[in-house]
């Protein structure tokens, strides 16, 4: 068995092809007012047969988004609420598939979406570490030597054997982040998880992510915290109403974005 | 240790076209042979037309040879047609027409080479082959046109790479389930025992129906099987619904959520089965050599349950009425399966229900093995086996075709 660290070292020195490739991706959600039930299913089927049209109004969360990320690059995704950032991260980590377009991620990734971060409430923190590592494709034997480090980093030593359902949102986010960085993925997808941690923990996370970046890992990072983005990412993507509005150096994109946010009141659509 | 492969679902596997066709060919032959077994089974048991009955003789091996040769011929014809203007109607890719051509050639070949074979038997074979073939090959290809056999094997490969996740998750679930209650396992064993005790009182003392073995033994043998099945079905409908938060946040092969349910059901089954063995021993029935039939029987039952579960787990997410509907259907199915009564007591004209219902055959075989200590009717095992495997293949294909939409239905 090859140790996790060696394995991940060999994969990091890979070819120079882009590690993430997104081409013309559309994601459509069906906007439904009611929960789908047998009655609605039957009715909509009838209507479709008669008028040949769909009942629900289509809503595109992402429209024609294309970009590629090179190995070792760290990219921030910024944008207003509902601009499709989380949808993009979900597509990248394979939780959903695009309606149209192609999407390719080469390499092992860990994704951290939502505050619960894929924990099972009834299980203790320690069991969730093993389970979460397995979700990220790491066998229990391989994560074994890192478990103490994970607990140490998350500062959860007194609570590690209590069920996760009793954790606060900050605690579970800390544990989720700690696991995601310790499974040594080639790519990390982060979705606003840092927002719930306190300032000291955020500092620690950013420091650690800078270290990961220096090791040549790829980071894709959704954040509203522009100072963290400036510190961590050389490149930023600005999503606006599901379209890629700007793609470039993070300073430039953030400047434009902040200018736009100040001159466009948030309630005008 | 290949960990880097574990999450690469987006990379398409490119099998060469020849390998794909070979797989398709092998699947076709396997399905026709399975259909043949069903046809024989149905023909023996049902009294439509002239029954074969006791004087039935096993098919000569020549019949199987005819199936294989006819299939090969169908493929040759199809690949020849693909190069002529006929390709509008027939190519090696048009699966349904190829299947029908193969069945037709088999029937013709049999009529020519084996003229003494019953022609009604051949009709049964053709119908069974068409039904199983549509279920096993054409349906999975239709629900997802991109889904070739190659993709199917890729799904299995990905599941195999995530086996550690399945094992770990199952272990944790079982640990928490049995540690939360004080008496733990006792509750799982109590329900079937209490139920059969009360029913024994009702059936043997109040209603005065006589059974050839003690009622409690007779009933428990059916109930143990039924519990595994029904816990799978009810758990399966909840498998995705209850983990929807997780499905929205992490990427893992979703069928693991379904497999967890059947895994837990199996652990429960072990305990209820132990209780069943004890009750048997108290009534003077001890394990015998025929119990060796139990693993294959269990395999058939699990395949059958899993196939249904794959359908129900994704359907119940899209249509929320399914769980309520199935509460009713399961109630009906309970009485249409010979759990409470022996099939011998049922009038002749209703017997076909127990032959069409694979679960009924499984229950009967299970009871034959454990209670009566006789080998099950081998022929009546073929039909549940083929039905279960077809259902499993169809269900898995359907589940995987809808897998990417699961996160949208929240």
Whether residue A35 and residue B320 make contact (CB cut-off 8 A), yes or no, is yes
Confidence of residue B9 (pLDDT cuts 50, 70, 90): very low
Whether residue B10 and residue A2 make contact (CB cut-off 8 A), yes or no, is no
Task: Kindly report the number of other CB atoms within 10 A of residue A59's CB atom.
Answer: 11
Distance in Å, alpha carbon of B161 to nearest chain A alpha carbon: 8
User: Which residues of chain B lie closer than 8 angstroms to A104, CB-CB?
Assistant: 10-11
Distance in Å, alpha carbon of A252 to nearest chain B alpha carbon: 31
Instruction: Report residue B283 as tokens.
Output: 């009534």
Q: How large is the average pLDDT for residues A188-193?
A: 81
Q: Does A29 touch chain B (CB under 8 A)?
A: yes
Q: Are strands A20-31 and A57-69 parallel, antiparallel or unpaired?
A: antiparallel
- Please choose, from the candidates A173, A175, A170, the residue with its C-alpha nearest in 3D space to the C-alpha of residue A160: A175
Q: Does B6 touch chain A (CB under 8 A)?
A: yes
Q: Does B25 touch chain A (CB under 8 A)?
A: no
The residues spanned by each domain of chain B are: 17-143, 158-408
Residues 226-265 of A with CB under 8 A from B: none
Give the helix, strand, coil percentages of chain A, each rounded to 5: 45, 25, 30
DSSP state of A117: T
User: Which residues of chain A lie closer than 8 angstroms to B246, CB-CB?
Assistant: 118, 120
User: Which residues of chain B lie closer than 8 angstroms to A106, CB-CB?
Assistant: 8, 11
Q: Does A42 touch chain B (CB under 8 A)?
A: no
3-class secondary structure for chain B? CCCCCCCCCCCCCCCCHHHHHHHHHHHHHHHHHHHHHHHHHHHHHCCCCCCCHHHCCCCCHHHHHHHHHHHHHHHHHHHHHCCCHHHHCCCCCCHHHHHHHHHHHHHHHHHHHCCCCCHHHHHHHHHHHHHHHHHHHHHHHHHCCCCCHHHHHHHHHHHHHCHHHHHHHHHHHHHHHHHHCCCCHHHHHHHHHHHHHHHHHHHHHHCCCCCCCCHHHHHHHHHHHHHHHHHHHHHHHHHCHHHHHHHCCCCCCCHHHHHHHHHHHHHHHHHHHHHHHHHHHHCCCCCCHHHHHHHHHHHHHHHHHHHHHHHHHHHHHHCCCHHHHHHHHHHHHHHHCCCCCCHHHCCHHHCHHHHHCHHHHHHHHHHHHHHHCCCCCHHHHHHHHHHHHHHHHHHHHHHHHHHHHHHHCC
Burial bucket for residue B178 (CB in 10 Å: 0-12, 13-18, 19+): middle
Mutate to test the interface with A, among B3, B10, B172 (most CBs of A within 10 A): B3
pLDDT of residue A156: 84
Whether residue A131 and residue B172 make contact (CB cut-off 8 A), yes or no, is yes
Measured CA to CA, the distance from residue B193 to residue B207 in angstroms comes to 20
Q: Does A31 touch chain B (CB under 8 A)?
A: no
User: Which residues of chain A lie closer than 8 angstroms to B320, CB-CB?
Assistant: 35-38
Q: How large is the average pLDDT for residues A156-164?
A: 86
Whether residue A118 and residue B250 make contact (CB cut-off 8 A), yes or no, is yes
Sheet holding A74-78, edge to edge: A109-113, A187-191, A218-222, A74-78, A235-240, A243-249
Q: Does B12 touch chain A (CB under 8 A)?
A: no
Whether residue A94 and residue B3 make contact (CB cut-off 8 A), yes or no, is no
Average model confidence (pLDDT) across chain A: 79
Whether residue A139 and residue B247 make contact (CB cut-off 8 A), yes or no, is no
Domains of chain A, CATH where assigned? 38-263 (3.40.50.300)
Tell me the pLDDT tens digit for each residue of B314-336.
Answer: 888 877 788 888 999 999 999 98
Whether residue B9 and residue A123 make contact (CB cut-off 8 A), yes or no, is no
Helix ranges restricted to H, chain A: 4-12, 38-51, 85-92, 125-135, 140-143, 147-154, 169-182, 199-214, 226-232, 250-263
Mutate to test the interface with B, among A86, A95, A99 (most CBs of B within 10 A): A95
**Percent of all residues in chain B with a pLDDT value above 90, rounded to a whole number:** 14
Question: CB–CB of A154/A182 below 8 Å?
Answer: no
A39, A108, A116 member nearest B7 (Cβ): A108
Average model confidence (pLDDT) across chain B: 80
Distance in Å, alpha carbon of B186 to nearest chain A alpha carbon: 22
- Torsional class of B210: left (φ above 0), alpha (ψ -120 to 50), beta (otherwise): beta
Rounded alpha-carbon distances, angstroms, from residue A28 to A76, A98, A105, B9, B50? 23, 8, 21, 21, 58
Rg (CA), chain B: 24
Measured CA to CA, the distance from residue B338 to residue B354 in angstroms comes to 8
Q: Which one is predicted more confidently, B60 or A242?
A: A242
Q: Are strands A235-240 and A74-78 parallel, antiparallel or unpaired?
A: parallel
Q: Does A142 touch chain B (CB under 8 A)?
A: yes
Tell me the pLDDT tens digit for each residue of B105-134.
Answer: 888 888 888 777 777 778 878 888 888 888
Residues 351-390 of B with CB under 8 A from A: none
Whether A222 shows a pLDDT value over 70: the answer reads: yes
Whether A78 shows a pLDDT value over 50: the answer reads: yes
Tell me the pLDDT tens digit for each residue of B219-256.
Answer: 888 999 999 999 999 999 988 888 888 888 888 888 89
Task: Kindly report the number of other CB atoms within 10 A of residue A118's CB atom.
Answer: 25
Contacts for B163 with CB less than 8 Å, ≥ 6 apart: none
Measured at the alpha carbon of residue B133, what is the angle toward residues B132 and B136, in degrees to the nearest 5?
80
- Please choose, from the candidates B297, B278, B270, B115, the residue with its C-alpha nearest in 3D space to the C-alpha of residue B193: B278
Distance in Å, alpha carbon of B287 to nearest chain A alpha carbon: 39
Q: Does A129 touch chain B (CB under 8 A)?
A: no
User: Which residues of chain A lie closer than 8 angstroms to B161, CB-CB?
Assistant: 137
Whether B89 shows a pLDDT value over 80: the answer reads: no
Contacts for B379 with CB less than 8 Å, ≥ 6 apart: B37, B40, B41, B44
pLDDT of residue A269: 47
Instruction: Report residue B8 as tokens.
Output: 């690469």
User: Which residues of chain A lie closer than 8 angstroms to B317, CB-CB?
Assistant: none
pLDDT of residue A108: 81
A11, A41, A97 member nearest B4 (Cβ): A11
Q: Does A38 touch chain B (CB under 8 A)?
A: yes
Tell me the pLDDT tens digit for each residue of B126-161.
Answer: 888 888 888 777 777 666 655 555 677 788 888 888
Contacts for B341 with CB less than 8 Å, ≥ 6 apart: B209
A38, A94, A113 member nearest B10 (Cβ): A94
Q: Which one is predicted more confidently, B47 or B406?
A: B406
Mutate to test the interface with B, among A42, A129, A137, A182 (most CBs of B within 10 A): A137
Q: Does B162 touch chain A (CB under 8 A)?
A: yes
Considering all CA atoms of chain A, what is the largest pairwise distance in Å, rounded to the nearest integer?
Answer: 63
Whether B8 shows a pLDDT value over 70: the answer reads: no
Measured at the alpha carbon of residue B162, what is the angle toward residues B159 and B163, in degrees to the nearest 5?
90
pLDDT of residue A40: 67
pLDDT of residue B18: 62
Q: Does A140 touch chain B (CB under 8 A)?
A: yes
ipTM for the whole complex: 0.79
Distance in Å, alpha carbon of A209 to nearest chain B alpha carbon: 21
pLDDT of residue B120: 75
User: Which residues of chain A lie closer than 8 angstroms to B325, CB-CB?
Assistant: 38
Contacts for B361 with CB less than 8 Å, ≥ 6 apart: B354, B355, B380, B381, B383, B384
Measured CA to CA, the distance from residue A191 to residue A175 in angstroms comes to 15
Handedness of CA B264, B269, B272, B278 (dihedral sign): negative
Whether A1 shows a pLDDT value over 80: the answer reads: no
Confidence of residue B44 (pLDDT cuts 50, 70, 90): low
Nearest-Cα residue of chain A relative to residue B4: A108
pLDDT of residue B333: 92
Q: Does B161 touch chain A (CB under 8 A)?
A: yes
Confidence of residue B2 (pLDDT cuts 50, 70, 90): very low
């Amino acid at each position: 068995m090859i140790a996790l660290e060696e394995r991940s070292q060999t994969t990091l020195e890979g070819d120079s092809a882009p590690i993430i490739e997104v081409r013309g991706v559309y994601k459509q959600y069906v906007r439904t007012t009611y929960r789908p039930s047998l009655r609605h299913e039957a009715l909509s089927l009838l209507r479709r047969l008669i008028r040949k049209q769909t009942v629900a109004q289509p809503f595109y969360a992402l429209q024609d988004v294309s970009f590629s990320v090179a190995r070792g690059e760290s990219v921030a995704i910024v944008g207003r609420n509902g601009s499709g950032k989380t949808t993009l991260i979900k597509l990248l980590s394979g939780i959903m598939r695009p309606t149209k377009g192609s999407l390719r991620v080469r390499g092992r990734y860990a994704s951290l979406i939502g505050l619960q971060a894929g924990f099972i409430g009834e299980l203790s923190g320690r069991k969730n570490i093993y389970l979460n590592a397995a979700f990220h494709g790491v066998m229990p034997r391989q994560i074994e030597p890192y478990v103490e480090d994970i607990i140490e980093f998350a500062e959860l030593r007194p609570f590690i054997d209590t069920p996760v359902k009793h954790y606060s949102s900050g605690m579970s986010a800390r544990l989720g982040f700690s696991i995601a960085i310790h499974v040594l993925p080639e790519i990390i997808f982060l979705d606003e998880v840092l927002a719930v941690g306190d300032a000291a923990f955020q500092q620690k996370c950013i420091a650690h992510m800078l270290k990961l970046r220096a090791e040549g890992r790829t980071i894709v990072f959704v954040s509203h915290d522009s100072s963290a983005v400036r510190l961590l990412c050389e490149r930023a993507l600005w999503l606006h109403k599901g379209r890629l509005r700007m793609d470039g150096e993070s300073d430039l994109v953030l400047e434009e974005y902040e200018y736009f946010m100040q001159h466009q009141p948030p309630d005008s659509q | 240790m290949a960990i880097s492969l574990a999450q690469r679902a987006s990379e398409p596997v490119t099998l060469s076209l020849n390998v794909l066709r070979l797989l398709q060919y092998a699947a076709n032959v396997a399905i026709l042979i399975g259909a043949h077994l069903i046809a024989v089974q149905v023909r023996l048991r049902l009294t439509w037309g002239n029954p074969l009955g006791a004087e039935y003789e096993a098919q000569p091996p020549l019949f199987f040879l005819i199936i294989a040769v006819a299939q090969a011929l169908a493929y040759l014809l199809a690949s020849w047609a693909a190069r002529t203007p006929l390709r509008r109607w027939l190519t090696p890719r048009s699966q349904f027409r190829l299947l029908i051509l193969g069945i037709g050639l088999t029937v013709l070949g049999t009529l020519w080479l084996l003229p003494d074979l019953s022609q009604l038997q051949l009709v049964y074979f053709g119908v069974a082959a068409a039904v199983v073939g549509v279920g096993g090959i054409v349906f999975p290809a239709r629900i997802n046109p991109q889904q070739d056999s190659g993709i199917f094997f890729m799904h299995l490969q990905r599941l195999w790479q995530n086996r550690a996740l399945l094992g770990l998750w199952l272990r944790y679930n079982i640990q928490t389930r049995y540690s939360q209650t004080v008496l733990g396992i006792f509750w799982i064993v109590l329900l079937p025992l209490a139920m059969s005790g009360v029913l024994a009182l009702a059936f043997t003392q109040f209603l005065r129906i006589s059974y050839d073995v003690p009622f409690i033994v007779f009933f428990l043998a059916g109930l143990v099987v039924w519990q595994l099945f029904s816990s799978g079905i009810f758990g399966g409908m909840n498998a995705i619904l209850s983990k929807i938060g997780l499905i929205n946040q992490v990427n893992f092969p979703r069928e693991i959520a379904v497999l967890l349910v059947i895994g837990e059901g199996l652990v429960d089954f072990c305990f209820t089965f132990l209780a069943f063995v004890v009750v048997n021993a108290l009534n003077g029935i001890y394990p015998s050599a025929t119990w060796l039939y139990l693993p294959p029987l269990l395999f058939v039952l699990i395949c059958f349950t899993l196939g249904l579960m794959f359908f129900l787990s994704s359907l119940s997410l899209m249509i929320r009425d399914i769980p309520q509907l199935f509460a009713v259907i399961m109630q009906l199915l309970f009485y249409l399966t010979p759990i409470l009564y022996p099939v011998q007591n049922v009038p002749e004209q209703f017997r076909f229900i127990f032959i069409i219902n694979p679960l009924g055959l499984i229950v009967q075989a299970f009871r034959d093995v454990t209670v009566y200590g006789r080998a099950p009717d081998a022929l009546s095992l073929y039909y549940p086996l083929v039905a279960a495997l077809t259902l499993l293949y169809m269900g898995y294909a359907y589940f995987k075709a809808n897998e990417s939409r699961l996160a949208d239905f929240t």
